[in-house]
Structure 1
Amino acid sequence: MTTAIDGPRLAPASGAAKSLVVFLHGYGADGNDLIAIGREWRKLLPDAAFVAPHAPERCMASPSGRQWFPLTFRDPDERRRGVIAATPGLNAFLDAELARTGLGPDRLALVGFSQGTMMALHAGLRRPTPPAAILGYSGMLVQPEALKTEATGKPPILLVHGDRDEVIPVDALFAAMDGLAAAEIPVEWHLAPGLGHGIDGEGLRQGAAFLASALKPRRTSLRGASQA
């Protein structure tokens, strides 16, 4: 069953939103799974509003959870079809949330975990205005061969993966790096030793620092200004 996308939100600690950080959860979870990260990051990102939407479909493998698209793990093409089908609904939510917070599309950061990383990379790299940053944990890049013709920009990207991931093997990290490099899209990466399918403290620390750098307010140019 598909429903409208919505989920928990956190207002900026400073009271005035200058950026929007959107968490995209993994298969079988929901927005509540990641919104707690926003509480940890508010000190370093005081001007960021956070939202963690619930994916639009119920997950048959986890009836209390949600999915961005169904996975049978039997069809090699299901991820490609899935991200393509789910992207319009996600983009509609992102556009509405940017309008709600009064922010431009370049002030958006996408943070994904697992299936959410697939969505962050696929949708983020194809938005009319590229996001300020894409941060992906324990995920993979779907349809890398299409990036050369479909990518609309080269936003900063950080990918984090555990070297003991039993759900999405670490080879997916290296494949994503190769796919992005083939499209001439720079990417930073961090390999977490001993980590399975999850996010550890170091990954959170690096992710927060990455977003803080990418979302720094732009300085107004003084070039051409008159001087006394």
Structure 2
Amino acid sequence: MAARIDGPRLAAKSRTPRQLVVFLHGYGADGNDLIEIARQWQPWLPDAEFVAPHAPDRCSQSPTGRQWFPLTFRDPGERWRGVTAAHPGLDAFLDAELARLSLDDSRLALVGFSQGTMMALHVGLRRRGRVAAILGYSGLLVAPEPPDVDTGGGALQKPPILLVHGDADQVIPLDALFQSVNDLGETEVPCEWHLSLGVGHGIDEAGLRHGGLFLTRRFGLPFPKGR
């Protein structure tokens, strides 16, 4: 049975949730690491409820943090095995959250950072319905390893995607962004990207702005006035 997950939340400013934004944190962090972004975006997304679940497992390399899956950084296949193993638990969480709010996948956006981006892309592309958007910071699309491994079959969904990456990232190098964009293009999944100049493994104000505006656009909301 998949571990139950939960985390900090921010209710819709309008008190009538019409969208759900789920933040997926990086390796060694937890949901508290990203939920504050919701406060910056809330004026643009007044009908959105935000939640940032803690990953199910304690991080072996950061006992105070969490992990979606373990990493040794030595095994080339561990990322693929990791996203595949963590998929059911996150998928069940998303189902439960949407049911609680009486929403469907078209009202869901996934926002990931680093390992959370890997999860957002893997799960978001395989949902039963097409999600409204996937926004990934400092991460990558995990490809099967070895390349001919059985991926379970079935066509991928094709939600709008924005990937944001710092050109000074030494944790997940910039090449990962372009490889991910290329891999998504080969499966005809639309993908935009933004390069944050001088930024390492993190998110700058320009990246946050691009991400927030991307979500407003994909939820069919007007461009924020005075922004």
**Do Structure 1 and Structure 2 share a fold, with TM-score over 0.5?**
yes
| 1:150 Cα deviation after fit | 4.1
Deviates more, 1:99-108 or 1:10-19: 99-108
| 1:151 Cα deviation after fit | 4.1
Cα shift readout 1:174-198 (whole Å, capped 9, x = no counterpart): 0000100110111000011100000
2:108, 2:132 within 8 Å by CA — same for their partners in 1? yes
User: Hey, what's the Cα distance between the residues in 1 that align with 2:64 and 2:189?
Assistant: 37
Residue 153 of structure 1 pairs with residue 157 of structure 2 = yes
User: Hey, what's the Cα distance between the residues in 2 that align with 1:52 and 1:40?
Assistant: 15
Cα shift readout 1:120-140 (whole Å, capped 9, x = no counterpart): 000000011021000000001
User: Hey, what's the Cα distance between the residues in 1 that align with 2:26 and 2:10?
Assistant: 20
**Aligned residue type for 2:66:** R
Q: Which residue of 1 aligns with 2:188?
A: 184
Cα shift readout 1:79-113 (whole Å, capped 9, x = no counterpart): 00000000000000000011111211211000000
Match of 1:207 among 205, 208, 211: 211
| 1:15 Cα deviation after fit | 0.9
Q: Which residue of 2 aligns with 1:168?
A: 172
Deviates more, 1:71-80 or 1:98-107: 98-107
| 1:152 Cα deviation after fit | 3.0
Give SS of 1:188's match.
strand
Q: Which residue of 1 aligns with 2:80?
A: 80
1:35, 1:50 within 8 Å by CA — same for their partners in 2? yes
Equivalent pairs, count: 216
1:13, 1:48 within 8 Å by CA — same for their partners in 2? yes
Q: Percent identity?
A: 67
After superposition, the Cα gap between the structure-2 partners of 1:150 and 1:195, relative to the gap in structure 1 and judged at 3 Å, is farther
Q: How does 1:134-149 map to 2 (within 5 A)?
A: 134-143=134-143
Q: Which residue of 2 aligns with 1:198?
A: 202
Q: Which residue of 2 aligns with 1:124?
A: 124
Q: Once superposed, which parts of structure 1, at least 4 consecutive aligned residues long, lie more than 2 Å away?
A: 144-147, 149-152
Cα shift readout 1:132-182 (whole Å, capped 9, x = no counterpart): 0000000011026688x5443211000000000010000000000010011
- Listed as ranges, the gaps of 5+ residues in structure 1 are 218-228
**Aligned residue type for 1:137:** Y
User: Hey, what's the Cα distance between the residues in 2 that align with 1:151 and 1:167?
Assistant: 31
